[in-house]
Homo-oligomer: A and B are copies of this chain.
Amino acid sequence: MLENLKKEVYKANMLLPKYNLVMFTWGNVSGIDRENDYVVIKPSGVEYEQLSPADMVVVDFKGHIIEGDLKPSSDTLTHIELYKAFPNIRGVVHTHSEWAVCFAQAGKDILAAGTTQGDYFYGSIPVTRKMRKEEIIEQYEKQTGSVIIETFNKRQIEPDQVPGVLVNDHGPFTWGDSPENAVYNSAVLEQVAKMTYHTMQINPDEIEMSRDLLDKHYLRKHGENAYYGQE
Chain A residues numbered 205-223 whose CB sits less than 8 Å from any CB in chain B = 206-207, 209-210, 212-213, 215-216, 220
CA distance A213 to B132 in the complex (A): 9
Known contacts: A115-B170, A203-B106, A212-B136. The answer to whether A101 contacts B230 by CB under 8 A is: no
A46 at the interface (CB under 8 A from B): yes
The answer to whether A102 and B199 have CB atoms under 8 Å apart is yes
Give the distance in Å from the alpha carbon of A115 to the alpha carbon of B227 in the complex. 41
- The digit string for A118-145, where 1 denotes a CB below 8 A from any CB of B, is 0000000000001101001100100000
Contact B136 A114 (CB under 8 A): no
Closest chain B CB from A208 CB (angstroms): 9
Contact B104–A114 (Cβ < 8 Å): yes
Question: Which residues 140-199 of A have a CB within 8 angstroms of B?
Answer: 140, 169-171, 184, 187-188, 191, 194-199
B101 touches A228 (CB 8 A): no
* Contact assessment for A43 and B230 in the assembled complex, using a CB-CB cutoff below 8 Å: yes
**Taking A44-B229, A107-B203 as contacts, is the C-beta distance between A136 and B102 under 8 angstroms?**
no
Q: How far, in whole Å, are A96 and B113 apart by their CA atoms in the complex?
A: 13
Any chain B CB within 8 A of the CB of A11? Answer: no
How many copies of the polypeptide does the oligomer hold? 4
- Give the residues in chain B near A101, CB-CB below 8 Å: 114, 116, 195
The answer for the CA separation of A193 and B184 in the assembled complex, in Å, is: 26
- Complex CA gap A99/B202 in Å reads 11
Q: Which residues of B contact A106 (CB under 8 A)?
A: 199, 202-203, 206-207
- On chain B, the residues within 8 Å of A105 by CB distance are 113-114, 195-196, 199, 207, 209
Nearest-neighbor residue (CB-CB) of A45 within chain B: B229
Q: Return A87 CB to nearest CB of chain B, in Å.
A: 27
Q: Are A169 and B23 in contact (CB under 8 A)?
A: no
- Interface centre among A115, A171, A201, by most chain B C-beta atoms within 10 angstroms, is A115
Contacts of A133 in B (CB 8 A): 210, 212
Give 9 nearest A-B pairs by CB, closest first: A45-B229, A106-B203, A106-B202, A102-B198, A105-B114, A105-B199, A105-B113, A169-B209, A114-B169
8 pairs from A and B in contact (CB 8 Å cutoff):
A24-B187, A43-B230, A46-B230, A74-B220, A105-B196, A115-B169, A136-B216, A170-B213
